[in-house]
Structure formats: C-alpha cells, structure tokens
Structure 1
Amino acid sequence: MASHHEVAARYWGHLIQQDKKPSPVLQQLLLGLAKYILTCLQKKHVAPWDVDCLTPPKLATFYRLVGGDYDPLFLDTQDSSLSFIYQSLGCFHTLQPTKDPYTSPTVPALTARGFVKWQTMQLLLDPAEHVPFLQEAVKRFDLVNSQDGEPFPSLLPREALPMKPDKAMVDWHDLVSEKLMLDVKASREPTKTPPDLPWP
C-alpha cells in the first residue's frame, strides 16, 4: 500500500516545467492561493478599505502567516519602485487607490496571474526560502483546485520543486536588479541646470 508521501508525490509530480513555467497543477495551486489571500485573509487581517486585489499589505500578511518576513519589501518600498519590480519581472499588476479616495491610484497590486508569475520566479530564484512557504500554505490553508473543486493534498513533497536556484534565472534577475538600482539612482539625482552661455 502506497504511503501518504508517495500518493502526494504522484499527485504533484514536477511542478516546474523544463521551460521554467509552472506546471498546470502548480498554476492551479497558485491561483487557489491567490483566491484564498483575497477572500479569507482579507476578512481576518486586512483593513476594510482595501480592494479585491493582491495589494502589498495582503502579500506581507501572507508571508508572515507562512513564516516569512517580507514587510520591508511590501510595506517599506515606495509604490513606484515596487511597481517597477513587478514590471521588470513581467508580473501583471494594477495601480489601486490609497486609503484616501480623493488621491490618484498608486498602490501596486498583483493580479492573480501576476501572483502566479511572482511565486514561480521566487521558487526558481531561491527555493530554499520559498519552497517551505508554499509547503506551509498547503498544510495550513484550505486550498481548492478550481478545475475539479477538490482540495489540494496537505502534503507538498520537497522533491516536487527545485532543489537549488536556477542559474539562468538568477543571472537574469541580477541584471534586472542592477538596472533597477541605476534607474532609482538616476531618478534621485537633481536635474542639472544648463551652463550659462555668453550672449553672441
């Protein structure tokens, strides 16, 4: 008789494909996790004026609940910089209102598909840190596969996900990060005034 671990391993399979995209099962899992964050976490942990999008406070709350501390990224980073990070990584997101409805929308919020991309990239870049977060989410939250309406197994075997960082993805991410730092530095430099020229 197959063990619980063996049954779970067959269900999950390999969750990252050769082209570095999420498998259909991982995609459904991450979509289900996004839905859970939007519904259950919003009721318990997020301010009532927040919108039905994956805003920074919701993502920070999610990471805290699964054992991480991403408050510096999601709560301390400027909205424009976080939006640029999402854009650089190719994660679909929108700009949402702040607490004040009379100001222009500036809060970057991941769409569900953007969350799938975000989480997949984190698993490729730093599996040692992010795989346990996903394992804890599967164990702790009641996540349902929207395709068949069945709950996901509460056990996510470690071997279903990458064991080490993907070198090509890390190299690409380093280039993007370097460009982000240069762009932020350039945006903070004072505008140079043109030199005084003598009258002809």
Structure 2
Amino acid sequence: MISHQASHQDISKHYKMPYTIQPGGYIDPTSSASSGPVEVDPSAPGSVMRYALGFETMANAIGGTWMVFFPQTFLSMLVNSSSDITPTAVTWTQVTGALVYALATPLILGIPNTRRGIESRAPTYYTLAAGEVGVVAVALYKAFVFGDDSGWSRNALLAASAVLAPTLAWRFYVLFGKPEWIGRYRETARKGQ
C-alpha cells in the first residue's frame, strides 16, 4: 500500500492531476481541483448546448416563480372552473414550482465549458428527457381517458404535452443526432500525449 501511495505521489510530481488523490489513492470528485484545466475541442465547443441550457434555465426560473408566487393564476389556465383551485392544488403547484427551480440546477452547472460542465450535459438531458416522457405520457393518458374530469381541462393537458414534446424532441436530436453540440474536451496535462 505504501508503494501504491508513493507511485501516485510520483505521478503527481510529473503530471498536474485534474483531481485530488485522497489517502489510499481514492479520487475526490468534489474537490475544486477535480474540475482541473481542460482544452475545449474547437470543432465541438458546446456553444449551441450552452445557449440552450441558458435559455432553459431562464424559462425554468420564470415558470418556477409563477408557480411558487402566483399559483392561483397559474392554475386558472389549467382547470375548468375556479372551484377546482383547492388549497391542495395550490400547495402542490408551489411544491412543483420549487422542483422546477431545482431542475434548473443541473442546467446551470452544465453551462461552463469546464470538465464538470461538459460531462454533466448529456446526463442532464437524459434525466430531463425521462421526466418529460413521463409527464407527456400522464398528460395524454389523462386527456384521452378522463378528459375534463381529470381535474385539468382536456385542452390544458394537451397543451402541456404540446409544450413538452418539442423540448423532448430537441433533447433526442442533440443526444443522438448532434452529440458534438454537447461539447468535447481533453485534459490540458495530457495534451501532448
């Protein structure tokens, strides 16, 4: 074990490691050093993705604010009558708004062209796409099976699906059709290798 630690220390002297090696040779991915210097691939700088992440972050901030601070106004667009806006519905709208804020966090973390930023973009898109598939499926099911008796109007359920479907299509297009838009990098310390 001593020789194992010594070998990591010897390597660290010759190469600037992009992470912190802890006792036993374990890597600390949360250290500030783990997001060490990288060189962004000029042919895949991730610019399109960074703009998309910025736009979506702003949209989440606006939507989350509307849901948290003006839940009755938000709900009035979704329900058939104002009598459907119950205290429970208001509370769940505010909780959902808080979750919309939380979903902005991985979007924000993906904006910088750093190791962490670039590496977080695809998992963020996969995660959000999975959620959107679920929301669209539930909204369409409710719209076609229950219609206006679902608690939301049928038109609101279809509109929710119509709003999320292009976003979902965009995610799949980027992930499977234009992965270079996500961005690429190489470690600066290994540039010459």
Q: Which has the higher contact order (CA 8 A, sep 6+)?
A: 2
TM beyond 0.5: no
Q: Which has the larger radius of gyration?
A: 2
Between structures 1 and 2, the one with greater helix share: 2
